[in-house]
Structure 1
């Protein structure tokens, strides 16, 4: 009788929801995504993204293990337009190829690690009955986003593997990067919902308010422009600030049509990205002022993130896109997304 009671009690304990444990796990995965954003930035800025010309989800976890394997990978890279038109004429040897190969391989390896860091704990929490009611679909959606991120990454690489291509498509680069930011925001939002559930023991998740949606659209456009600027190397269009080519508005080529100019012209995109930033700042300030009476820490996080981001953006331009400044700019962009998600969640909790 006693043994049966103990077994029953153990089963009840095992099946109890653990929202705080899940929240901590999601914050840990979000941290890994931030690391991924940094490594992705380094991969892009060192022109490493096209060094691996195939997608091998399982065997690709290991780097080449012999000189013959390295030479085979190098020979595949030599068939790309990037090598024929850029790297090859610059005199790339096997040692230089190993350097760029490392960053692309590490980027992909980290993606595998993040996938396992999400999928395995998710399965464990699921089997233990630790996931609160209503959260399983959301967690599965986040898992699916991670899988899409890997697929988008390959489509991005494949877009640059043509014999005449020297870079990946900036459209695919923006999809790849913005999916990472969206996933990061989803991780933070869900973790905050779970933490709130742990504190209150009941209640409905926060909702997205009208103000948060408006700011999200403005911020999305700024991040999209930033991704296109990165993909087209448009950061090199000017190394002065606030003027470009000694003018407020640079000379822009409209001969290919408005649509092409809006989506491809490096001078136009650089110009829009640097000045739309102030629209984003204004929107974030308005949002942060609404957040401050409810959670001062979230307001400070938003102000700090966009302030540092603006300074890093200016410094990146004026240094001719120095690698570590550009990487820091991308990292703080991700932190800004996290701070925005935090502030939007605060407003959403209040609305509930």
Structure 2
């Protein structure tokens, strides 16, 4: 495993990060997820990402259970706040009330006194940004949070948040966006702004919800137990399930074989090779998937291979920066 600094901060994380988003959200049982987390520990992964909304808080509980007995200072735990965790008017957003209460609840579920990185899961236009940043700063001063980051914020939102957070002495150090060979919307605005401000990208879905592993065949049925067969998983992977996309993805297979990599390893290695990326978040439903993905750590792809990847996917690559805040269309479920 290799380790990278998150932006200009002193925090170092494993370049492969383990996340338990959809892999625990009704898709696999708790014991299987614990096995995957322990496989991640064995593989050298030290950084673990979760959120208060994942499986209604169960994801944090399972992560805490899996890390019980592990020396706390040997791992980095990241969680998030903003998306709705209940039906009450204050069970969502980035108000001081919700941030403080959610942080305490996350710490309880995780079984720890602090989290290394606390992230605003989305931007909240209904709460004054000053209120949100002050709450995050207070959590840092209380010792409950070591660093603060955001997730899926636009470049303009990142700029505003970073300015306020810096004035309060707790500059934002990270952004957590979706990023893959197919989904590159951060490249035009978000990543350049973040790099200028000293923030790193800790990216999720580097294998595009499993599509870039090559397991989905054009014209074929989705493998049993895959995200494409799960009602919730289909909501996220569905954008990639056309035969046009799947056929083009299959053309990456010989490129991966040429580099002596699996298609999943090629996808993760590609993400890690891009400037500004501090870590790539992987998920797994089986321990062997963890081992496969972590083998992408330290891989360097030659320039000619990178060009052929671009040429292969070409017009299927999403680059529109306006798609940054539109990810999965989750916000309209609770914002006015």
Q: Same fold (TM over 0.5)?
A: no
- As a proportion of its length, which structure holds more helix? 1
| Higher-strand-fraction structure | 2
- Normalised to the residue count of structure 2, the TM-score between the two structures is 0.27
Larger Rg: 1
TM-score normalised per structure 1: 0.26
